[in-house]
Amino acid sequence: MGKTKDVNHQELMEVINSFDFGGELEEVGIFGNGHINETYCAVFSTEAGQKRYILQKMNKQIFKDPVGLMENISGVTSWLKKKIMENGGDAERETLNIVNDRAGSPYLVDKEGEYWRAYLFIEDATCFEQVENDEDFYQSALAFGNFQRLLADYPADTLHETIPNFHNTVKRFADFKKAVEEDACGRAADVQKEIQFVLEREQLAHTLVDLQDAGKLPLRVTHNDTKLNNIMIDNATHKGICVIDLDTVMPGLSLNDFGDSIRFGASTAAEDETDLSKVSCSMDLFEIYVKGFLEGCDGKLTKKEVELLPMGAKVMTFECGMRFLTDYLDGDHYFKIHREKHNLDRCRTQFKLVADMEKKWDIMQEIVAKYNR
């Protein structure tokens, strides 16, 4: 653990003493390499032995509705805990466990108006930043499928939409058209090929939104950041045991979570690869994820949802590429860039993936049909 530097020691002690940890504080220090929230690890000695907790100051600049966000997390983790215990699992390791403050609230507001929360530390498990092998990807799919299974009956319409219109692809398309028309930075003339790629696929932006509006796709609890590093992998068994980072849990479509996983997980190249000949959607990786995800879901998705898994992958990839291109046209305000035309490079990889999926569409559908039982 690093030294505490972002909050002075006295303020940190006041925050720690406001939570219902129990036991005696042994040490506290900065933890992890997250860029959004300020994270600490606090170690306590208790009668049952040493216990560790994660303490976070939430970033109000990013999360504008911290109360709604924590209500979402509190509702979802309480539900998961109940389901895990019913299934004979270990609720302390298989879901996040919120520690309430001394007033019984799942978050604390300090005297500066900052929002804090605390979780029980998940022991003997590790997060991996990148997929090292096929088994990692399979475990990720299984864990996110299991997340869908356990939350299949959760009343998703009671969740706060903490980031409004996050996967409203129709609105994203309208934002894109506005960016083209306004051409704030005079960049549109040089990216006509990319603009045409989007305009030719306007119907794609409507596909899932229209089906949801027609009541043909159910509202689900969605994670919205389905990367491998949001899965805790058990150190002994190497199995995915817990889905973490629930800050973007919202009502949405299961196809969004699945599709985003394929978008970055089944690509043969980095998101910002400039050599597009290296970019394709791996059918081997697609199959591994379909298999794991459907095993994890264990029959909880509707027939329509399963049939549309390839469409989820295509729409999410298209949406992401469109967002990169919109940001490029607007002057790179949303996504952090590290070089000139970085967002343009990113959008081109996404569009290459979409085009590759279109070529492999029959194969993708055959793979899904194989596991759709």
Look at the block and give the residue holding tokens 């303490």.
55
Residue type, 373: R
Question: Where in the chain is CATH 3.30.200.20?
Answer: 9-121
Q: Is the pLDDT of residue 271 over 90?
A: yes
Q: Is 202 helix (H, G, I), strand (E, B) or coil?
A: helix
Question: Which pLDDT value is given to residue 337?
Answer: 93
CB atoms within 10 A of CB 21: 19
Question: Residue 8 — pLDDT band, cuts 50, 70, 90?
Answer: confident
Tens of pLDDT, residue by residue over 83-137, are 999 999 999 999 999 999 999 999 999 999 999 999 999 999 999 887 888 999 9
Tens of pLDDT, residue by residue over 21-58, are 989 999 999 998 777 899 999 999 998 899 999 999 99
CB atoms within 10 A of CB 295: 15
What percent of the chain clears pLDDT 70, i.e. is strictly above it?
Answer: 98
Second CATH level (architecture) for the domain 134-371: Alpha-Beta Complex (3.90)
Which two structure tokens, joined as six digits, stand for 314? 């295509």
Q: What is 9-121's CATH topology?
A: Phosphorylase Kinase; domain 1 (3.30.200)
Contact in structure between 149 and 86 (CB atoms under 8 Å): no
Q: Report the candidate in 122, 109, 111 with the shortest Cα–Cα distance to residue 53.
A: 122
Question: Where in the chain is CATH 3.90.1200.10?
Answer: 134-371
Q: Is the pLDDT of residue 201 over 80?
A: yes
Question: Residue 68 — pLDDT band, cuts 50, 70, 90?
Answer: very high
Q: Report the candidate in 100, 108, 121 with the shortest Cα–Cα distance to residue 41.
A: 121
Question: Which pLDDT value is given to residue 5?
Answer: 46
- What stretches of the chain adopt beta strand conformation (E)? 24-30, 38-46, 49-57, 98-99, 108-109, 115-120, 125-126, 220-222, 231-234, 240-243, 250-252
Q: How far apart are CA 166 and CA 171, in angstroms?
A: 9
Tens of pLDDT, residue by residue over 13-28, are 999 999 999 899 999 9
Tens of pLDDT, residue by residue over 188-198, are 999 999 999 99
Contact in structure between 299 and 372 (CB atoms under 8 Å): no
Contact in structure between 222 and 254 (CB atoms under 8 Å): yes
Which two structure tokens, joined as six digits, stand for 260? 């985003």
